[in-house]
Structure 1
Amino acid sequence: MTTPSSEALRAADTATTATGLRTADDSGLVATPYPEPRLSWSLASDRPGVLQHAYEIQVAAGRSFTGAVSSGEVESDVVTDQPWPAAPLRSREVRHWRVRVRTDLGWTGWSEPARVEAALLDDRDWTARPVHVAGDRGRTSPGPVPLLRREFDLPAEPVSARLYVTSLGVHRTAVNGRPVSDDLLEPGWTSYPNRLLYATYDVTGLLSPGRNALSAAVGDGWYRGHLTWHKNRDVYGDTSALLAQLEVTLADGSTVTVATDDQWRGGYGDLFAADLYDGCERDLRHEPHGWRLAGFDDRAWERAAASPLPAGLTQRAHPPVRVVQVVRPEVRTLPDGTIAVDAGENITGWLRLRADGPAGSTLTVRHAEVLDSDGRLLTSILRGARATDRYTLSGGGAELEPEFTFHGFRYAEIEASPGVTVERVEVAVVASDLRRIGEFHCSDERVNALYANVVRSQRGNFLAVPTDCPQRDERLGWTGDIMAFAPTACATFDSRSFLDSWLTDLAIEQRADGAVPLVIPDVDLGELPPMELPFAGTAAGWGDAATVVPTALFEAYGHRSLLGRHYPAMRAWVEFTADRLDEDGTWSGNAQLGDWLDPAAPPEDPARATTDSAYVATVFVAHSARLLADAARELGHADDADRYAELHRRTAEAAWRKWGDHARTTQTGCALALEFGVVPAAERVAVGEALAALVRAHDGRIATGFLGTPFVLPALTRTGHLAEAYRLLLNTECPGWLYQVERGATTMWERWDAIRPDGSIDTEKAGTMLSFNHYAYGAVAAWLYRSVAGLRAAAPGYRVIEIAPRPGSTLTSARAAIATPYGRASVAWSVDGGTLTVQADLPPGTTGRFLPPEGWESAQPLMDLGSGRHRLRLHA
């Protein structure tokens, strides 16, 4: 760190500016939970070849930057995850920061300043305590949703107001009858006994001098609602509760604090039940009109009961759940009078209705992903989830939508009492509101449909946690699913803070011996399918989310601090697996889930894959050891880097000694061996040939499950078998990606053959484990970005970008774009006769390298690129 010289200060790059200033907090809230926020920015410039060589950050109390604290000149070409240069923020403290960078032409001007406000950073800042309706404690079945309220006076005009709010359960909070935000299902789902998230809202504009009211409805949510296929209740506690602290600064300089305590009042309203799996029941005749406004008579309500402050209070740093889209569905009336709704695609969310009818009349809305042979809802595969919303009208017109629930569905049926008119039907699509950053398109519309299905499945399952499915009685944070999907997730949506939060819970829930539970947050799964060997409560490929997901985040976003934060959990998992290796260096002592849902596995036993599960487990030990060694090297842990690189070598050799011949007989066996560095260098060509031969022998049909699928296309591509990779991608026979598309899929399926070629649904063999919105097989989209279009991060955060398109088969064009931390990077190619035209756009601050595809003449086998636009022509 140095102070810029006077000569350096005179040099200026007036064509470049620092823009997009941000911290690691993606919540969109007014405050941040980080006392020392990590800082990032981007560069904007019309000049090609722009690189950052150094930066300077200033932090000050005001926007004039009088008395600013400076980082000094810091040599760095990285625009992400830079340290806070000033003293740590105190609770509620506001600071401003700005940055300028030095390029080859000199210093840019100062950026526009960004504002940072600290949330409540210490438990001592909370005067509020959680409150609940005393009579609601101990309820063991879904019941009325508690309502809580408090009135207060403001003697002068409010000039600033912050509401810090969370709940045990899920809440909908309002000030003077107006919602404090459009966030839904707050505070989401975390390891509640250890970490409870709150939100900070600026509610200044909702307050006025005089009498005001603060109110909330608090549903069961994940905290005490049904969880897992056993439909356990009260997993975390036997009562919901609200924790809220409103701090108001008035025009006369005085302050007013309104905090949840035993002076609050509690009652019930029109929400008779609200459960994540079962749905919502409301009777509008019981709505206590005006309960959210000042002046409501709540003397008949109970006095609230308070409880101790929860452990692990911290502000949410990732985006909230919201309505992200509203769809107008197809609506028709069936012969029996039922209204049938088709959203046109499989979604996560609910129906919004406008209805009119007499008091006491009802509407019942049921949901399903698919229809049965009679064209009615197929609900048996929802298992114990009722997925039903029921409304009782109070007379006249009403706007209807459920609270504190969500459904996975494409189809719905509305049954209405005589005399009820349904005037409008809309579909509200709900998800964690992550920023879309990835795009892909090619000349084959079937592949475009596949890519769209991947996007929908990620959107529908990234809801508070990365779930396996959004429709049945499960919706859990399965580690194996996100392990497989993480690289795709990080390219399609900005998943950094969302998965960072989930990994925080993974570390919390990790066992003392390093084992990672199958689902995060960890809940009791009870009986799993029968295993031939003792089941350790964890599994290879599933627990490896501890290493694979942080690696994917680091590669996509370049935040070294994030990698360091999750390094202990990565290390603990690898040590757990290393401790379980047999004398021959392999892991065969525990039952495994293996290459789950291998299409050749018996439908009733999806763990019985064609690839030996002990082989799969052992090569995953090697894979995670190598990822950990790379992370250790990046973080400067030289001894660990050597130790885990050696563990990778030993384990890979042991796996190949024992299973080398077997591995060559399955697509998963070959793909994992090639991608995990298990195959000896001298045998890579032969194993690549064996994999390609297996694809040809299967007529291009996929033969991999959850663990093999992400790696089979990259393995074929890396070993020079692009034709076979495209044959797998474009195969339309079952099992295959485009088979699902041609069967009408709009999201990814859990099973390759969920719908038979004749259009029937195999509920006899598959039973009820049959989800039509499961993103694991959507891992193929990472290959679409990286190989079909040819856009790949060659250095963390896309600081160096590899442009390596691989045209093949019948495709004549493809394009992809990703909003990287440096800015938008894109590549597009097209084939016209014997000419391949490639256009690449690299954002300022990055460099690139172009790797021409085999079979196309290029002046250089590798071409270095600077930022800006490049157009290249190659000939066959």
Structure 2
Amino acid sequence: MMKKEQVTQFSISRAGSALILLSSLLSSGVMAQQIQIEELRTEYQSNPMGIDEASPRLSWKIKSEQRNTLQKSYQIRVGKDSAALIKGNQVLWDSGQQQNETSVLLPYSGPALESSTKYYWQVKIKDNHGNESPWSMVRNWHTGLLKPSDWTAQWIGTTATDTLAGPSPIFRKTFNVDNNIRTATLYITAHGIYEARINGKRVGKDYMAPGWTSYHQRLLYQTYDVSDLVKKGQNAIGFMLGDGWYRGNIGFNGQRSFYGKRLSGLAQLQITYQDGSTKTINSDGTWKFSKGPVLYSDLYNGENYDARREKAGWSLPGYSDTEWKSVSILPAGPEKLMSSIAPLARKQEEFKVLKVIRTPKGETVLDFGQNLVGWVQFRMAGKAGSVIKLEHGEVLDKEGNFYDANLRTAKQHVSYTFKGSGTETYEPHFTYQGFRYVKVTGLNGAADPAAFKAIALYADMKPTGTFSSSNPLLNQLQHNIQWGQKGNFLDVPTDCPQRDERLGWTGDAQVFFRTSAFNMDVAGFFTKWMKDVAGDQLPNGSIPFVVPNVMGADATGSAGWGDVATVVPWNMYLSYGDKDILTKQYPSMKAWVDFMQQRSKNDLWNVGFHFGDWLYFHLQDDSDGRSAVTDKYLIAQSFYAYSTQLLINAAEVLGNKADVDKYKELLGRIKKAYIKEYVTPNGRLVSGTQTAYVLALQFDLLPEDLRAHAVEQLVANIKNYGTHLTTGFLGTPYLCEVLTRFGRNDVAYELLLQETYPSWLYPVKMGATTIWERWDGIKPDGTFQTTGMNSFNHYAYGAIGDWMYRTIAGLDMDISGPGYKKINIAPQPGGKLTQAAAQLDSPYGLTGSDWSISDGKFKIKVTVPANTTAQITLPGAAAAEVLESGKAIARVEEINQVKKSGNDLVLKAGSGTYSFEYTYKL
């Protein structure tokens, strides 16, 4: 890149030719390289396949070395030919220059999109400094099959008797390609889960496809560009099916075949030749099927694989399938076919064996060092017919033996029978395990650690956030939170990934959402899942305990669980600036609040089943009544008020004034009913627990004159338990937040850094690498909690991560500029921490806060991405001389509106990186 001064020097020495060059540079926009456009996305994805939105939303990020950079206008152009588009030719839609600062989620507004078509787009902008960017690199999106009539393939399956768990069927077809190929696109889905191949090669990088949705209502299909797999001449296409969520074990009590009894697949391969003509290969009656080496594969119980039954080359064109049978044509199900918009599970990190353990019982156990979700891949030789068995568990018992009693009925076993042809490589197909330790039997000799590796499997979400501090235990807690999220975000937000459950519990998801959105880009993940929340919502507005709902119509309507309908859409809007999610989920939000209103009497919701403050601090021997039992109806009324407030917020954003007025009036009545029923005249709550006071303060249920007293009661309760928390799933997420909000950050830090049970750091001290379901999953004496419910990978208590990002590091969004269009940087040091840092790859770009205290100096580096602004609060700086990059802040033109706020200094800044330093008194 040529700098302006370089061009000037060159023009002096070579005036004639340089003037020509300078003119060329100006006209081509090279000198406008001070701003660049990066990370173009369509519906949160880069170059997505199978988009079925009528007006896909486009986003980009701006890179500029110049501080205080804002987009003033943009111009988007779209076409079907990338080479022509770059030249400005064959433009299908040109937005024209739009005077608009928005660079996130702007809808395509051109001619109606066609099915199975690739659209190319690029954008350029002008900024507030008068710079104009060059046109960005071209990116694209590919549309799916937009109309039901676009589907010409037929559902195919095996014989009518194949209705039980058994060998995974494999299907194949050969076909001829007559001409040179321009593109080949595969649209595919299944009743079950599938693995597709073309000409011997696996299609795509996704696993457990098509993913889990409310299959009775909608089924996702995937779209793959397979142009590099299809060739001129003879070809073969095939797929293998597994039971998955559709027909396998799911939920409790050995429940199987919840959605159907017969596996089937649907595949449509569309080929476009160089001359523009097309050919379609459909799944139909010409396909054949057989049974392969996967004798059994179940999500809970593992896989049985017999390599002697492999059909080598079964997806190659030259394979002889004369002994295969003709498929059955099956009717389409009642569900609606929709394109997959969520990130599917993919292979992620790999782990070597940390050590091989010989247990007191004489077992051979592999320790991978991390509780993860996925499977073990191995490479080794064995005699034909010999069997190796892998059993997966999360922990070792007190004596050091392999332990899997907490899996309940789930087996998590993998069995492999060797074919005896030298070194064989294997990994499972239609199952996954939650584990750190693997017991191995059937080895011929000692275990070779180099023969095994663990592969983590989770939804392909981009990591977006990091947090670190001067406290190693806190850093391990952050690690555990992130790995709890990875393990339980395989396809839907599950409660746990190892035992016979693995369900999308709505309460867990709503309390953890904000933390999850810091750690990873969960926009597509939750957009997909929230459609099923609304889809499985009962006609009366009640929300199921789990989504997809495999527990039935009676398992619905619990406070704190059903509130996922309001909590997640609102926080999606705040985190990503996604107004569309509010629009689409608003009927569901409203129906949930209306359900609570219908169930209430005199504005008091005090009926029905509720989980309450699940897994709160509870003593087995509670002779002195110290278990922290919070009245479940008090909790229900609290969340009734909270969801009503979130509905009001959404209605205000959407401009629905009638609903704003209606539900504000309702909210006033809800709060009056709460005070009348649960608050004494002196301001005490009928349940004197931490959770009761936290919810009352967090949701503004108390009049202002009673709040200070409530804070005193909360702190006294915490101190009464030796500065320990006693909260469960519903109180824990807000505990530190409330303490900070009401001026007791000191107590919040004491709780966070408490190392004895019950606390966040107790599991860390006990060696945890993920978040536990219970505060004392492993007791101080090394024994376990009840086998009936004791997961060691259960993310709900990891919701403290939100406070760590927003309070310790001080990185937060401003509600008036959702999606981090406006940013708040306001660290609140404490807990003897001398350093903390957080970064977030926000929708607008990288933002961050990195502070340290050393030798009486407070230093903080703040990153504000282009096209955003930030309010920065410098703690304890009100009376200090503050320098930014060595200059007094009064001399820094990008900083303005400096004012004192108590002991702090508050200022506004535009984009850029700022380094502040001042004398700091603890």
Does residue 793 in structure 1 map to residue 833 in structure 2? no
- Structure 2 counterpart of 1:674, one-letter code: L
Residue 4 of structure 1 corresponds to none
| CA deviations over 1:493-520 (Å, ceiling 9, x no partner) | 0000100100001111100011000000
- 3-state SS in 1 of match to 2:179: coil
2:426 counterpart of 1:400 = yes
Q: Which residue of 1 aligns with 2:900?
A: 860
Q: Residue 201 of structure 2 aligns to which amino acid in structure 1? A: R
Could you tell me how far apart the structure 1 residues matched to 2:424 and 2:698 are?
57
Q: CA deviation at 1:635?
A: 1.0
1:201 corresponding residue in structure 2: 224
Aligned to 2:464: 437
Distance 1:459 1:813 in 2: 26
**Which of 715, 722, 728 matches 1:699?**
722
Which residue of structure 1 lines up, in the alignment, with residue 94 of structure 2?
70
Amino acid at match of 1:409: F
Q: Structure 2: which amino acid aligns with 1:586?
A: L
Contact 1:35–1:118 (8 Å) recurs in 2: no
Please give the secondary structure, in 2, of the residue aligned with 1:163: strand
Shift in alpha-carbon separation, 1:410–1:818, aligned structure 2, 3 A: same
Distance 1:873 1:290 in 2: 66
Q: 1:761 to 1:28 in 2, by over 3 A?
A: farther
CA distance in 1 between counterparts of 2:223 and 2:478 reads: 36
Q: Percent identity?
A: 37
- Residues 227 and 601 of structure 1: CA distance in aligned 2, closer, same or farther (over 3 Å): farther
Mapping for residues 273-352 of structure 1, pairs under 5 Å: 273-310=296-333, 311-332=335-356, 334=358, 338-352=363-377
CA distance 1:375–1:419, shift in 2 (3 Å): closer
C-alpha displacement at 1:640, in angstroms? Answer: 1.2
Residue 710 of structure 1 contacts residue 779 of structure 1 at CA under 8 Å; is this kept in 2? yes
| Structure 1 SS opposite 2:403 | coil
Partner amino acid for 1:151? T
Identify the residue that residue 118 of structure 1 maps to in structure 2.
143
| Residue aligned with 1:134, SS | coil
Distance 2:666 2:117 in 1: 47
Matches within 5 A, 1:518-667: 518-524=545-551, 537-583=556-602, 585-600=603-618, 610-660=629-679, 661-662=684-685, 665-667=688-690
Deviation at 1:418, TM superposition (A): 4.6
Residue 114 of structure 1 deviates from its aligned partner by 2.1
1:132 aligns with 2:157: yes
Instruction: Give the structure 2 partner of residue 845 of structure 1.
Output: 867
Aligned counterpart in structure 2 of residue 24 of structure 1, from 43, 46, 57 = 43
Q: How far 1:810 sits from its partner (Å)?
A: 1.2
1:74 deviation in Å?
3.1
Aligned to 2:76: 57
Asked whether the 8 Å contact 1:790–1:806 carries over to 2, the reply is: yes
> Which residue of structure 2 aligns with residue 3 of structure 1?
none
Distance change >3 Å, CA 792–CA 455, structure 1 → 2: same
Would the aligned equivalents of 1:25 and 1:318 in 2 still touch at CA under 8 Å?
A: no
Residue-pair matches, total:
851
Residue 125 of structure 2 corresponds to residue 101 of structure 1 = yes
Shift of 1:386: 0.6
Q: Report SS of the residue matched to 1:662.
A: coil
Give the structure 2 partner of residue 186 of structure 1: 209
Deviations 1:585-641 (A, max 9, x none): 22111121110111127699xxx9611110000010100111111111111111112
Give the secondary structure class of the aligned counterpart of 2:789.
Answer: coil
Taking the aligned partners of 2:96 and 2:580, their CA distance within structure 1 comes to 21
- Would you say 1:377 and 2:395 are equivalent positions? no
Cα distance in structure 2, aligned partners of 1:632 and 1:253: 49
Give the Cα–Cα distance (whole angstroms) in 1 for the partners of residues 724 and 161 of structure 2: 55
Contact 1:131–1:262 (8 Å) recurs in 2: yes
Task: Note if contact 1:274-1:281 (Cα within 8 Å) is conserved in structure 2.
Answer: yes
Q: Give CA deviations for 1:737-777 in whole Å, capped at 9, x if unaligned.
A: 01110011110000101111122213xxx342000000000
Q: Is the 8 A contact 1:490 1:552 kept in 2?
A: no
Whether the aligned pair in 1 keeps the contact of 2:169 and 2:291 (CA below 8 Å) is yes
Q: What's the CA shift for 1:60?
A: 2.7
Q: 1:532 maps to what in 2?
A: none
Corresponding letter in the other structure for 1:865: A
* 1:379–1:698 distance in 2 versus 1, CA, 3 Å: same
- Residue 743 (structure 1) aligns with: 766
Residues 505 and 589 (structure 1), Cα distance of their counterparts in 2 relative to 1, 3 Å cut: same
Aligned counterpart in structure 1 of residue 701 of structure 2, from 669, 672, 678: 678
Task: Report the CA distance between 1:13 and its aligned residue.
Answer: 6.0
Post-superposition Cα deviations, 1:240-287, rounded to whole Å, max 9, x if no partner, equal 111101111234543221110111101101110000000000111111
Q: Is 1:873 aligned to 2:891, yes or no?
A: no
Letter in 2 for 1:742: K
Relative to structure 1, is the Cα distance of residues 852 and 658 closer, same or farther in structure 2, using a 3 angstrom cutoff?
Answer: farther
Alpha-carbon offset, residue 421 of structure 1: 7.2
Counterpart Cα distance in 1 of 2:372 and 2:582 = 33
Deviation for aligned residue 1:136: 5.0
CA distance in 2, matches of 1:852, 1:300: 76
Which amino acid letter does the alignment assign opposite residue 869 of structure 2? Answer: T
Cα distance in 2 for residues equivalent to 1:37 and 1:29: 11
Whole-angstrom CA distance in 2 between matches of 1:614 and 1:565: 30
Contact 1:480 1:518 (8 Å CA) reproduced: yes
- Please identify, of 418-427 and 792-801, the stretch whose mean Cα deviation from structure 2 is larger: 418-427
- In structure 2, relative to structure 1, the CA distance for the partners of 1:536 and 1:32 (3 Å cut) is closer
Deviation at 1:366, TM superposition (A): 0.2
**Helix, strand or coil: the match of 1:272?**
strand
Q: Tell me how large the CA RMSD over aligned residues is.
A: 2.1
Deviation at 1:459, TM superposition (A): 0.3
CA contact (8 A) 1:180 1:201 kept: yes
Structure 1 residue 29 displacement after superposition: 4.2
SS in 1 for 2:395: coil
Q: Give the C-alpha shift of residue 553 in structure 1.
A: 1.1
Tell me whether 47-56 or 475-484 shows the greater mean CA deviation: 47-56
How far off is 1:563 after superposition?
Answer: 1.7
Asked whether 1:777 is paired with 2:797, we answer yes
TM-score after normalising by structure 2: 0.89
Q: What secondary structure is seen at the aligned counterpart in 1 of 2:402?
A: coil
Q: Which amino acid aligns with 1:544?
A: D
Distance, in Å, in 2 between the alignment partners of 1:136 and 1:313 is 26
Distance 1:324 1:541, change over 3 A: same
Partner of 2:856 in structure 1?
834
Residue 486 of structure 1 and its aligned partner are, at CA, apart by 0.4
Q: Work out the CA distance in 2 between the residues paired with 1:10 and 1:47.
A: 17
CA distance in 2, matches of 1:376, 1:850: 52
Q: Which amino acid aligns with 1:788?
A: I
Number of the residue aligned with 1:498: 525
- Cα distance in 2 for residues equivalent to 1:75 and 1:654: 49
Q: Is the 8 A contact 2:212 2:492 kept in 1?
A: yes
Aligned to 1:465: 492
- 2:41–2:47 Cα contact (<8 Å) kept: no
Letter in 1 for 2:212: W
Report the secondary structure of 1:230's partner residue.
Answer: coil
CA distance 1:293–1:623, shift in 2 (3 Å)? same
CA deviation string 1:460-519 (max 9, x = no partner): 000111100000000000000001100001111000010010000111110001100000
Secondary structure of residue in 1 paired with 2:228: helix
Question: Contact 1:153/1:209 (CA < 8 Å) preserved in 2?
Answer: yes
Letter paired with 2:101? D
Aligned to 1:530: none
Is 2:437 the partner of 1:411? yes
- Per the alignment, in what secondary structure is the counterpart of residue 354 of structure 1? strand
Can you list the C-alpha shifts for 1:800-855, whole angstroms capped at 9, x where unaligned?
Answer: 11011000021011000000000000001111243221211100011011123358
1:165 CA displacement: 0.8
Whether 1:146 aligns to 2:178 is no
Q: Which of these two proteins has the greater Rg computed from alpha carbons?
A: 2
Residue 387 of structure 2 is aligned to residue 368 of structure 1: no
Which range moves more in the overlay, 96-105 or 160-169?
Answer: 96-105
